[in-house]
Structure formats: C-alpha cells, structure tokens
Amino acid sequence: MSQPRNVVFIMTDQQHFRTLGCHGVQEARTPNIDRLAACGTTFRNHIVTNPVCSPSRASIMTGKHITEHGLWANGVRLPEAWNTTIPQALAAAGFQTAHFGKLHLVPIINRIEKHPPYGFQACEVAEGDQQLLDDEYFRWLRVTDPDLFVAYANEMFQKGHAVGYKSLMPEDKHLSTWVTGRAIDWLRHCRRKDQPFFLSVGYFDPHHAFNPCEPYASLYDSIDVAPPVFRDGSIETRPAAYRRHFEGCRAVTRDRDRMTGILKAYHAMMAHLDACVGRLVAAVQQEGLGGRTAVVFTSDHGELLGNHGLLWKGPYMLDDLMRVPLIVSLPGDKRAGAWTDEVTSGTDIMATVLSLAGVAGGPVESGQRLMDADLGLFPDGSRGYALAEWEHPRAGDNGSLRMIRTKELKLIHYNGSSEGELYDLANDPNEYTSHYDSPAYADVRRRLTDQLAGLYMSRRPRVRFEGAW
C-alpha cells in the first residue's frame, strides 16, 4: 500500500449474528450491509470478549481482554493510564479521528460530565439509553422539538423492553438518523482534505427497547420471521442461573405472538440501520474517498432474542451473545464476497484497523491482524480459539466466568464453582445441550480446561466499580 488508508468503523449495539441477508437470513432486509459483504470479506466466527457493552467495547478499542484493560464490567470506566486506544494510535500517526454515537467506555447512569474522548479529536457521544437524557442527541432533540423529546421519553418508559412496538419517533429525528447525519456532516465539512482519517460511528440499535420507527416498522407487517430456537428440557442441562433467568422471562419468550412482535421489531430496527449505513457509505463515495477507504462493520455483543427461552443479555456465554457480525469491506479486495469460518476475537479489531490504515504491521496487544495492509488474510496466523471473560460483583453464582471457544467446541468455566458449560458446536450448533458433566466428554473438558488455565488470569483488575452501567 503506497499511502495511508482511511477507515470508517461502524459498530452496532446488541446485534444478533442472524440478522443479515449476507448471513442467509430470509427475513433480513439489509441490502447495504450485504453489499459491504459482497465487496469485502466476512468473518463468520467472530467472538466478542464479553457479553455486555462496556467491557467488549474496551477490548475492541484497546486490543486487550478485560483483565488486561481493566474495564471489567458495565459500571467501570476504561483506565486511561495504561491503555492506548485505536484513535490514540492513529492520531499519533497523523490521522484525523472522529466519533459520533454510542461509545460507552465510562458508566452511563451516574454520568454528569461529558464522555472522555479517549483519543477522538471530534467526539459527539450519544448513548441512546433513556437513563441518560442529557447526551448530545437528547440535548439536540430537546432543543429542536421539546414536545417530541418528552413524548419519546415517556413512550420508552411506559412501553418497556419486553414488547415490540412502532415508535412515535419519526425517521428524520431518530437517533440512528441523527448519528448518521453528524458523521456525514463531519466527512463533508469538517475533515481536513490533506490527512487520512478514522471515523467511528456507534449505533444504539438494535438494542432494546424494541421500537422501530416508520416506515421500517410497517415493512414487517407482511414479512414472516423465524421463531426463536427452543428445545424442551435443554435449560435443565445448564447452571442454575439460566433456569432462574428462564423463569423470569418465560411469560414473554414462550408467548409466540409476543415474541413474533419483538422479532419483527428487531429486524425492522436493522432495516433502518441498514439504510443509515447505505447513506454513510454513499457519502464516502460521493466525497471521492471510496478508492482508499476501508469500512469495518461489527457489533459489541449479541442478543438472546427469545432463544432458549431467554431475552436481552447478561452473564451468559451462548453464541447468541458472543458471536457477532464482522465485515471488512474495501476496494481492491481480490476475495470480494468471500468469507472465513476461522475463529476471530474482538481483540483482533485494533490490530486489523491499524494494519488496514498502514500504521502497524504486526499484532497489537492480545490481538492479531485479520488482514494486512495489502489485504492478505491472517498474516499473523490463526490462533484457532477465542477467549472471553465475565466479571460482576452482583451476578451471584455466575459472577466470574471464563470461556474458550474453537470452531467445534466451547467451554465455560465458573470460577469458584463446580458448575460449568461445555458445548459440542459441531454437532449441536444451537447449543441445546451442555455436556459439562457428561462422562463421554470428560477428556474434552479436561483438555479445554487445561488450555484455558494456561491462557487466562482469574483475578479481577483493581479498578473501581461505580455501579449500574
């Protein structure tokens, strides 16, 4: 590569892997994201480092696991003293850096100051959560349309997060539309034409509440959606925390009509996101930047989405939460439209972005390059596994988990407990049955446990838990 390459980094929030047409999902209406896949490479076994927002996002931005970067739970802030982020590394190399939308590297609920920029020279944070009604977007909405601001806030609180519904928010004032518009405005009017750039765009959707705006909500009035995967008795093979969560939400997840409404709403939110991605990519091309700009599309974690009778997210490491989309799309990729099922990690994104930009030529922290500057796949090799962690002071029996996942197998170790999970993904891709206590899998469990023990620290970093998320 003769000159630095721009990077547009797009991250959704809580996006299930099976939400894109390019992943073979019949009910998906995602032509723009599918077009990114058709022009690039799709990583179909991409595994995040944590099943909730902040810890996973910190891993993406630093190339480290949570016991390395220190943001070990929602409610903890990313320590700046010992972490270098993607925008900091690129800014040091002469790149312009900008972020618009969700970032969530510090707690949301108790925030009274602006989100630290963590290396972004332009930084407009809009988390989207109704618990934080004073971020950049809500501040804009409150000024431009105060009646809509109040109505929307009331709608979110009154409708809740356990039903799908058509939001009163019009498309032109929706958060996803606003974030897209701010990013496009920066591209067209604020960036310096003589410097490469890293543009990060963070969408809150398709995170609950399940509340798509029109016209996307009505689009799914006539589209059938596949029901959640469920097998009677499968929850009984898992640790007690699963059974408690199942009992807490079965009134929703085992109600077919209610789940159909939620699933249609979720896919409608994705259809809106896809339109936003299309606008953003079109703006890059209209600015004459398409030939030297890579687009990286991913999510911070998934969504249980009624599968196994469970909803939302939490201290569980099923693939519904841990496996997310990852697409790297850029001109000149000779494998355009190709995909790989090699296991990759959220820690690999930093090394990959720096490599694509032409800034770094090797692994970064715990991450490996998925592509080099000349678009070669896995220049550092493929490790063959991904690791994940969960730490939380209020999660009870499963307050400390460690996971190792390969193409065929997944082991989840419960620190300080005799419980655990072991899935044979080759024969049971939906993870219906845990074989953790099965004599037939004793050797597999022992081997994976030994491998995991050799790779991971078990201690929580000494970073203060501030509470909530």
Judged against a pLDDT cut of 70, whether residue 321 lies above it is answered with yes
Query: DSSP per residue over 8-26, as a string?
Result: EEEEESS--STT-GGGT-T
- Let me know if residue 25 belongs to a domain: yes
What are the residues facing 47 on neighbouring strands?
323, 345
Average pLDDT over residues 7-32: 98
Assess if residue 455 is contained within a domain.
no
Q: Which single residue is written with the structure tokens 């022992």? A: 446
Residue 118 vs residues 94, 215, 364, 450: alpha-carbon distances, Å: 16, 36, 17, 36
Q: How many CA atoms lie within 13 A of 236 on its CB side?
A: 3
Tens of pLDDT, residue by residue over 158-180, are: 999 999 999 999 999 999 999 99
Separation CA 64–CA 37 (nearest Å):
26
Q: What residues contact 384, with CB distance under 8 A and at least 6 apart?
A: 342, 343, 406, 407
Provide the domain limits for residue 358. Answer: 6-378
CATH of the domain at 40: 3.40.720.10
3-state class (DSSP) for residue 190: helix
Local confidence band at 444 (pLDDT 50, 70, 90 cut-offs): very high
Given a cut of 90, whether residue 326 has pLDDT beyond it is yes
pLDDT band at 464 (very low <50, low <70, confident <90, very high): confident
Task: Classify residue 446: in a domain, yes or no.
Answer: no
Residue type, 154: N
- Please check whether residue 401 lies inside any domain of the structure: no
Burial 386-397 (b: 16+ CB within 10 A, else e): bbbbbbbeeeee
How confident is the prediction for the chain on average, in pLDDT?
A: 94
* Residue 332 banded pLDDT, cuts 50, 70, 90: confident
Exposed/middle/buried for residue 194 (C-beta within 10 Å: 0-12, 13-18, 19+)? exposed
Q: Look at residue 396 in the predicted model and tell me its pLDDT.
A: 63
Q: Is residue 68's pLDDT more than 90?
A: yes
Distance CA 351, CA 62 (A): 9
How many CA atoms lie less than 13 Å away from 248 in the CB half-sphere?
A: 9
Cβ contact 74:53 at 8 Å: yes
Is 432 within the bounds of a domain? no
pLDDT band for position 11 (cuts 50, 70, 90):
very high
Determine contact, residues 211/155, Cβ cutoff 8 Å: yes
Predicted pLDDT at 398: 66
Spatial separation of the C-alpha atoms in residues 265 and 163, rounded to whole Å = 9
Confirm whether 398 is domain-assigned.
no
How many structural domains comprise the chain? 1
Residue 400 is assigned to a structural domain of this protein = no
The strand pair at 420-424 and 409-414 is best described as: antiparallel
Cα–Cα dist 86/354, whole Å: 7
pLDDT at 395 > cutoff 70: no
Which residues lie below 8 Å from residue 416, measured CB to CB, with a gap of 6+? 400
As a whole number of angstroms, the distance between CA 188 and CA 158 comes to 39
According to the model, what pLDDT value does residue 127 have? 92
Q: Read off the pLDDT band of 103 (50, 70, 90).
A: very high
Calculate ∠ Cα 105-164-305, nearest 5°. 60
Cis (ω within 30 of 0) for the bond into 107? Answer: no
At 134, the pLDDT band (50, 70, 90 cuts) reads confident
pLDDT at 2: 63
Q: In what order do the strands lie in the sheet with 400-405?
A: 386-391, 400-405, 409-414, 420-424
* Digit-coded pLDDT (tens) for 278-298: 999 999 999 999 999 999 999
The per-residue DSSP string of 360-378 comes to: --S-BTTB--SB-TT--B-
Could you report the per-residue pLDDT of 213-260, keeping only the tens digit for each? 999 999 999 999 999 999 999 998 899 889 999 999 999 999 999 999
Closest CA to 436 of 417, 453, 412: 412
360 within a domain of the structure (yes/no)? yes
Instruction: Provide the pLDDT for residue 360.
Output: 86
For the chain, what percent of residues have pLDDT higher than 70?
Answer: 97
